[in-house]
Structures are given as C-alpha cells and as structure tokens.
Amino acid sequence: MNVLMVEDQADLAALWSASLRRLGADVSIVASQDAAISYLQHTCADVLILNLGLRDGSPLAVADYASYRHPDMKIIPVTSDTFFSDGSVFAHVPNTCTFLAVNAHPDDMATIVTHYGAPTHG
C-alpha cells in the first residue's frame, strides 16, 4: 500500500510514518501544497493523509487535485480543531473516507489507514 502524507510537522510525520511502515506501508512525506501536487502528477497513492492545517498552501486544493487526478484514492484529512466536526469535510473533500484528529494514537491511525488502503476484491 502506498501512502502520501501531506504534513508539515516533521515530528508528527516521522511518528505516523513509522507506525505505517511497521504495518508494511510505503510512505512518502511532503510538507506543502506544491510538493503534494508535484507528487500526485507522477504517482498515485492508495491513501492520502492530509493535514487540514497545512501552513504552506491550501490543503483543500491538494484534495481537489487528488480527487480529480486519482478518483479512487482514499483521502484521510487530519485536523487539530473542531472546524469539520459537523461532518462537512465529506462535502468539501468527496474522496474522504474518514477523518482523524492530530492527536490520534499513531498505531490507531496506522490501523485505520491500512484498513482503508487495503485492496478491495469484488
């Protein structure tokens, strides 16, 4: 499973990616809108973990591009506030499968990501 993590907090990205890698995920980390768009132009991830508090660029622009370029990619927005606690993130980011709080335990986050990133058979 390929995971793209758009996270500008290096410590958090390292912590979460370590948990994902222990479960066998191939994780790429970028810290800005431009880097995420560049990655998505050339590579398709199974899951996009997207910090909605991204400081360099617009996380919603990244989500829009990912949804357009890779319509089957699962997107998991991450937030530290309650702005989307009403569920509106599902309307703003159509490929959202769930969303997580920044303070989610890394192993819980990894389990959720691998669940949604697992190939479907049918």
Assess if residue 122 is contained within a domain.
no
What confidence score (pLDDT) does residue 15 get? 95
What confidence score (pLDDT) does residue 66 get? 95
Render pLDDT for 74-109 as a digit per residue (tens, 0 to 9): 999 988 765 555 555 656 677 888 888 889 999 999
| 114 pLDDT above the threshold of 60 | yes
CATH number of the domain that residue 40 is part of: 3.40.50.2300
Structural domains of the chain, count: 1
DSSP, collapsed to helix, strand or coil, labels residue 48 as strand
Residue 21 tokens read as 């890698």
Assess if residue 75 is contained within a domain.
yes
Residue 27 CB coordination number (10 Å): 21
Render pLDDT for 11-70 as a digit per residue (tens, 0 to 9): 999 999 999 999 999 999 999 999 999 999 999 999 999 998 899 999 999 999 999 999
pTM: 0.89
Q: 20 with 3: CB under 8 angstroms?
A: yes
